[in-house]
Amino acid sequence: MEKEDVTPAAVGVLKGWAAIIASIAALVTAVGAILKPTDTSATKATYETLSKAVKDNSEAAARNHDDLVALRAYMEGMRQSQIVPPPTTGTGVAPPPMVDATGLKTMKKPPLLGAYPPPPPVLSAPPPPPTIHKRPDVWAPPEFGEVTKKK
């Protein structure tokens, strides 16, 4: 077999065709990757799980606010019902006479010290509790389809 001479021009043409074929193959692969539908089942499952957790957390915050308001109202009602009136000065009323076990002889009376029994200690009202902010809105994340739709 004889060896044919390959000219540099022929080598350049062959390299050009090889580059064009490689470029077309890359372009077909890229178009196929763009047009191929993607599997979003794992992403959708994760999104739905996290969305449910966010919504539950939002509802719990709203319930906690309602409970706090109810507790505040209960505590205020208890405080209002247990306010002690200011003590009065001694009335000079003596305690009832004390008798011994036989009931015949009057025992020594304690000294008259004023009101009997002594008045309860004066309770000062506690400072008012801090203000409660408005109830937070329950937030629900958008559906998965709304997030992934193309604009």
- The DSSP line for 25-75 is HHHHHHHHHHHSPP--HHHHHHHHHHHHHHHHHHHHHHHHHHHHHHHHHHH
Which amino acid does the sequence have at 69?
Answer: V
pTM higher than the cut 0.85: no
Q: Report pLDDT digits (tens) over 72-119.
A: 888 888 877 876 555 555 555 655 655 656 655 555 555 555 555 666
Q: Smallest Cα–Cα separation from 132: which of 81, 73, 78?
A: 73
Domain range summary for the chain, segments of one domain joined by +? 55-81
- The confidence band for 15, taking pLDDT boundaries of 50, 70 and 90, is very high
Mean pLDDT of the region 133-142: 86
Q: Report pLDDT digits (tens) over 60-72.
A: 999 999 999 999 8
**pLDDT confidence of residue 1:** 46
Alpha-carbon separation of residue 20 from 8, 15, 27, 28, 34 (angstroms)? 19, 9, 10, 12, 21
**pLDDT confidence of residue 85:** 58
Kindly tell me if the per-residue pLDDT of 57 is higher than 90. Answer: yes
Across the chain, mean pLDDT equals: 79
According to DSSP, residue 103 is labeled S
Q: Report pLDDT digits (tens) over 16-42.
A: 999 999 999 999 999 998 888 888 889
**pLDDT confidence of residue 60:** 94
